[in-house]
Amino acid sequence: MASSIRDVAREAGVSVGTVSNVLNRPEKVSPATVERVLAAIERLGFVRNDAARQLRVGRSRSIGMVVLDTRNPFFTDVAHGAQAQALSDGYTVLLGGSDEDSSREVALLDLFEEQRVAGLLISPVHTDLSRLWRLREAGTPVVLVDRGSSDHSFSSVSVDDVEGGRIAAQHLVDIGRSRIGFIGGPLAIEQVAQRLEGAQAVVSKYRGVALTVFQPQALTVLEGRRIGEEIVAMPAATRPDALFAANDLLALGVIQALVMTGSLRVPEDIALVGYDDIDFAGAAVVPLSSVRQPATEIGATAVKLLMHEADGDRGPEQVVFQPTLVSRASTLGYE
């Protein structure tokens, strides 16, 4: 069986307290003793039991993170940024994906709560935040990721999604398109709803420009392809001449559908803007214009806010990044 701190103490001829000190505050122990204990640890192949440590200390050194989709490169990048920052603060990030399903989300929260995570980063499916309130009441700091806290009750780090929708739609209008299709859903996802809102705001300013909404079941390549096929099948008169997809996964799926059937050209017949500017966007059949968000920075910032909350010095803070448009071939851009 795995040896315990007690075995190490016996082996090194010291007390358990001393072994614990060697592990946690070696500067409090005389060098000779440290050496002796380390040798014993080595000899026994001792590995500290984190469960026991945690039980005693009350909190874990892990941060729970819930994102909408672990397979979406955008969230992978956010998580990567969070990981790196957490590491430098001595924490570990546990990543879980809700797959945009609120029951999976609840299951993850249960799990993290049982683990007594040091904090929670979440990109919630729900608009209902009561569960998060409870968690926070119970002493677990919570930071909303990629989603603002409208009433400022939570710390959050987000990107201005309304503005993102605005610049995407404006760009399409600027290149002369008038029948704009928005692809995104479920609309219950705040980010999607806000990007739509931004697009609508622009469209309503121009007479002669109309917006049609296509609602996929999920924000995936597969669903994008399905919607793309749907659009190809529309009569040319009503078919959009420009599309704004709520994320790049959808956009890439749409491109696949358009290009594979070969009947419609991008951007000549249909221009296309995506969202997130994932690494793969620039390498697409038709390099994809996209609204860029600073993914890793979002993750890193979220962890920083979490640390602030944990310190308890200040109240909730909101950080809002501004999105930028990256224009490529799919909207006549160069690059």
Partner DNA sequence: TCTGATCATTGAAACGCTTCAATAACGAAT
Partner DNA sequence: ATTCGTTATTGAAGCGTTTCAATGATCAGA
33 binds DNA (CB under 7 A): yes
Per-residue contact flags (x/-) with DNA for residues 56 to 95, judged by CB under 7 A: xxx-------------------------------------
- Taking CB under 7 A as the rule, does residue 115 contact DNA? no
Q: Tell me: does residue 48 bind DNA (CB under 7 A).
A: yes
Q: How far apart are CA 204 and CA 178, in angstroms?
A: 11
The nearer residue to a second copy, 131 or 177, going by C-beta atoms, is 131
End-to-end CA, the chain: 61
21 vs 331, which CB is nearer to DNA? Answer: 21
Residue 76's binding partner among DNA, a second copy, none (Cβ under 5 to 8 angstroms by kind) is a second copy
Residue 291 and residue 274 in contact, taking contact as beta carbons nearer than 8 Å: yes
CB 313 within 8 A of CB 269: no
**Tokens describing residue 292:** 């860029």
Euclidean distance between CA atoms 310 and 85, whole angstroms: 15
The number of residues that bind a second copy (CB under 8 A) is: 48
Q: What angle (nearest 5°) sits at the alpha carbon of residue 334, between those of residues 333 and 335?
A: 130
Closest to 173 (Cα-Cα) out of 211, 137, 139, 120? 211
180, containing H or E segment: strand 179-183
Number of alpha carbons in the 13 Å side-chain half-sphere of residue 130: 1
Q: Does 268 bind a second copy (CB under 8 A)?
A: no
The residue range among 17-25, 99-107, 179-187, 318-326 that interacts with DNA, by the rule CB under 7 A, is 17-25
CA–CA dist 297, 275 (Å, integer): 17
Give me the 151-190 binding string for a second copy, x by CB under 8 A, dash otherwise.
Answer: ----------------------------------------
State the residues that interact with a second copy by CB under 8 A.
Answer: 1-2, 45, 47-52, 54-55, 60, 70-71, 73, 76-77, 79-80, 83, 92, 94-95, 97, 110-111, 113-116, 134, 138-139, 221, 252-253, 255-256, 260, 279-280, 282-287, 335
